[in-house]
Amino acid sequence: MVSRLVSRGLRVVLACVLVMGGAGYWARGAGAASLVIDAATGTVLSADAPNHLWYPASLTKMMTVYVALSEIDAGRLSFDDKIKVSAAAANVSPVRFGLKAGQVITVREAINAAIVASGNDAATALAEKIGGNEAAFAEKMTAMARSIGMPRTVFRNATGLPDDGQVTTARDMAVLAMALLRDYPEHYPLFNQRTVTIGKRSRGTVNSILGSYQGADGFKTGFTCGSGYNLVASVERDGHRVIGVVLGSKSRGERVAEMTKLLNKAFAGDKAAGASLAALAAQPGDEGASPTILNGGACSAAQLAGGEGEVITSAARLSGWGIVFGAYADKAKAQQVLEAAKQNLGPLAKGTRSAIVQKAYEGSAKYSAMLVGFEQGEAGKACKAMWEKNAYCLALSPQVLGNPDMVWR
């Protein structure tokens, strides 16, 4: 029962890890960090640099939702309140749910899209509804962070998109996870939804731990090139709830594998004595130091923070319908075809994003030239226009884009 999530006798373990790659993987600020805490006693079971600064990426949306829930709890906002999506919100960088400027949605729909689909457009619209503008809302987020015991966290936006001043720590994210469970247990199921629908558009969850680990029932993923792959997960087995935080993995798969290892150890009772969670806040951190910045593999493997035409290895989190103009053995050829297609489409390509997706096909690498971010009808019109010019085009649904085994030709 959700109502029992944070009862006095409940045993909660918080596992927070900064996953390190091989030599040269981190651009700066390298240093492993881990944290395991028994919340029933406040005892730190293990810790290594838990106050190291890190970029939260879309874990930020946990605080976006926390602030929204606090407004609802105070009676200043309701789930049924209407939000008119601004042009700024609709055009925010991917990942987007696909909201349009002028579209009217509810607060509940915005929260659901921010959590389930990690929609930056939804999070921005919600922030503007509450704060008037995103900057003012971010100030509320930072103030809320201080009030619940997150001394090293600063928010500059509601999405987690790259900002050098937006930082957190493993310890602070653990505190936020605990606060959501403690303060709003009746709303915790929001974090366990597998799909979200607004109008005729539906999106599946981006949080793969929900379907891959027994008892996993909530919280959030995040990625930018600066942060790597982040994950906060909450799991309950036999009345024993574990919250895990993984920051900085090199891939989605590694993120889930590392979380699985940590959760397994927690449920197996792997322990070591230590200080209290409160005491960790008083220990020296690295204030003034730059957060670790990830470079290399993850930045070329996912196109979430911009970078038109980057080569990526998965289109699972590219928003909306896509159209593909063929798959080529040569990357330069794929780029050439993509640019020609954009010129041919003209205004039909407005608001879409370029992507070159690298996948193995018949034993060799193929580079698919794509545009993504269409509505279904718009994708059909664009492909029809390409066929009329005797050029190859195939429309791809979000479900097809999200299938890691598909190769588009």
* Domains of the chain: residue spans and CATH: 10-282 (3.40.710.10), 307-401 (3.30.70.1070)
Distance between CA atoms of 19 and 42, rounded to whole angstroms? 24
- The predicted-structure confidence for 49-75, as pLDDT tens digits, reads as follows 677 788 899 999 999 999 999 999 999
Distance between CA atoms of 215 and 231, rounded to whole angstroms? 16
Quick one: pLDDT at residue 33?
A: 59
Distance between CA atoms of 295 and 156, rounded to whole angstroms? 22
Q: Give residue 285's pLDDT band: very low, low, confident or very high (50, 70, 90).
A: low
- The predicted-structure confidence for 357-408, as pLDDT tens digits, reads as follows 877 666 677 888 888 888 888 888 999 999 888 888 888 887 677 655 555 5
Region 214-220: what's the mean pLDDT? Answer: 93
Percent of the chain with pLDDT over 90: 36
Q: Give residue 332's pLDDT band: very low, low, confident or very high (50, 70, 90).
A: confident
Tell which residue, 230, 259, 255, has the closest CA to residue 243: 259
Contact 110, 83 (CB under 8 A): yes
Quick one: pLDDT at residue 329?
A: 86
pLDDT at 309 over 90: no
**Run of H or E residues at 116:** helix 107-116
Q: Give residue 115's pLDDT band: very low, low, confident or very high (50, 70, 90).
A: very high
pLDDT at 182 over 50: yes
Alpha carbon dihedral 314, 319, 323, 326, in 10-degree steps, equals: -10
pTM of the predicted protein model: 0.69
Distance of CA 138 to the CA centre of its chain: 17
Distance between CA atoms of 335 and 328, rounded to whole angstroms? 10
Give CA angle at 269 (263, 274), nearest 5°. Answer: 100
DSSP 169-213: -HHHHHHHHHHHHHH-GGGGGGGG-SEEEETTEEEE-S-THHHHS
Residues involved in catalysis? 58, 61, 118
Of 144 and 241, the one with more pLDDT: 144
pLDDT at 3 over 80: no
- The pair of three-digit structure tokens given for residue 37, joined into one six-digit string: 């805490």
Mean pLDDT, the chain, as a whole number?
79
Task: Using DSSP bridges, classify how beta strands 240-249 and 12-18 pair: parallel, antiparallel or unpaired.
Answer: parallel
Contact 16, 45 (CB under 8 A): no
Contact 171, 281 (CB under 8 A): yes
- The predicted-structure confidence for 71-92, as pLDDT tens digits, reads as follows 999 999 999 999 999 999 998 8
Of 271 and 187, the one with more pLDDT: 187
